[in-house]
Amino acid sequence: MPMTDRDKRTLKIGGATLAGIVGLFLIYTLLSPGGGEVALPSFAPPPSGATPSGSVAPSVGPSGSPTVQPTVPPVQNFSGRDPFSVPPILLTTPSASTPSPTDSVTPTGSGTGTGTVTPTTPPPSTPSGSSTVVGGHTVVLLDVFPRNGKTRAQVEVDGTVYNVAEGGMFDAGQFEFRSASGNCATFLYGDESFTLCATSSK
């Protein structure tokens, strides 16, 4: 299968990267102290009859008296670095400071309501004019207004509303609208006269 341009480019980049890694590894290994040689200590047990290192072995001199000859322990030479060990620069990692929450919020205030709330209810709706009870009938004056040069009154008797001109009779002739002054009107029920004033809506 022929190689495409993409495969060739991938091989070139991969080969160059691999050669760079190998070159850096060799330079680092060869330039380290000791040229990469590692001399490991020998831990073979001493032969029988040998004195431990650092101790003094007596020897017999010509006169027959023992003379003391100190023995020098062997010098172990450690040079170079193990090429398979982790570089020392990678062993020292900066200590990551782990943030720990030290501030704690404690609620200090306690909300206790001491006042009592009394629900307010709207007042009951009342008729929009002054009212009275005359002869067992509830009469309410709603409005006094001029129309066509005459003063008229809007009166409610036992729930029925009448629009009466001044001097006119209403509610089957039981009531008469006698006169008006401002927003007040005078009515006549039989021989009984009474005055009502309309409540201003403004």
Please name each of the domains of the chain with its CATH number.
1-38+68-91 (no CATH), 131-197 (2.30.30)
In order of 33, 37, 87, 96, the CA distances from 91 in angstroms are: 18, 21, 7, 14
Coil vs helix vs strand at 5? helix
Q: What is the pLDDT of residue 187?
A: 95
Q: 10 Å Cβ neighbour count for 163?
A: 14
On whether the CB atoms of residues 6 and 60 are closer than 8 A, the answer is: no
On whether the CB atoms of residues 143 and 199 are closer than 8 A, the answer is: no
In order of 77, 107, 115, 116, 146, the CA distances from 111 in angstroms are: 79, 11, 12, 14, 61
- Closest by CA to 71, choosing from 51, 42, 100, 46, is 51
- Calpha distance 191→187 (Å, rounded): 10
Q: Report the DSSP beta bridge partners of residue 98.
A: none
pLDDT digits (tens), the chain, 202 positions:
677 888 888 888 988 898 889 888 888 888 766 555 545 555 555 555 555 555 445 555 555 555 556 566 666 665 566 767 777 777 765 554 555 555 555 556 555 555 555 545 444 444 445 889 999 999 999 999 998 889 999 999 999 999 999 999 999 999 999 999 989 999 999 899 999 998 765 4
- Closest by CA to 166, choosing from 182, 186, 139, 190, is 186
> Which value, in Å, is the radius of gyration of the alpha carbons in the chain?
62
Q: What is the pLDDT of residue 93?
A: 56
The 8-class DSSP code of residue 129 comes to: B
Q: What is the pLDDT of residue 126?
A: 41
- Calpha distance 39→82 (Å, rounded): 10
Q: Report the DSSP beta bridge partners of residue 70.
A: 56
User: Token pair for residue 4?
Assistant: 């495409």
- Calpha distance 136→126 (Å, rounded): 19
